[in-house]
Amino acid sequence: MQNMDWYHALVKPALTPPDAWFGIVWPVLYVMMALALVMILVKLSGKERVYAAALFLIQLGLNFSWSPLFFGAQNIAGALALIIVLWVALSATVWCFFKYYKPAGWMMVPYWIWTSFAVYLNWGIWRLNP
């Protein structure tokens, strides 16, 4: 990961997990996300399929944009704004997946919970490192 010295020097919120957790949690979440998307693509057709896939790709693009902004640009406030937008897009995606195929929605819930926790972490880092 980029700029870990900078990250390690930051004051972090009380519930910040050890670095090793991120390397364990994210691969599991990405597998679950991929399975949820496959379920949606197999289950749906037409406009519903396009809509659900578009929401998924939007939130995924926002997800992929966060690390370069936070770690690369060291822009804590910008990353906080981005992760809030990501959380909104992800919430819409989860809602959509539940609407069309509940098992796919449930596959996205751990990612939604982890992203909610990441909002707290990003916010805490922003507050603790003026």
| Average pLDDT over every residue of 47-72 | 97
**110 domain-assigned:** yes
Q: Average pLDDT, whole number, for the chain?
A: 96
| Average pLDDT over every residue of 96-117 | 98
What total number of domains does the chain contain? 1
**69 domain-assigned:** yes
Burial class (CB in 10 A: 0-12, 13-18, 19+), 61: exposed
**60 domain-assigned:** yes
* Domain span at 94: 20-128
Residue 3: predicted pLDDT: 65
Residue 124: predicted pLDDT: 98
**4 domain-assigned:** no
User: Would the pLDDT of 2 be above 70?
Assistant: no
Residue 4: predicted pLDDT: 84
What CA–CA distance (Å, rounded) separates 97 from 74?
A: 33
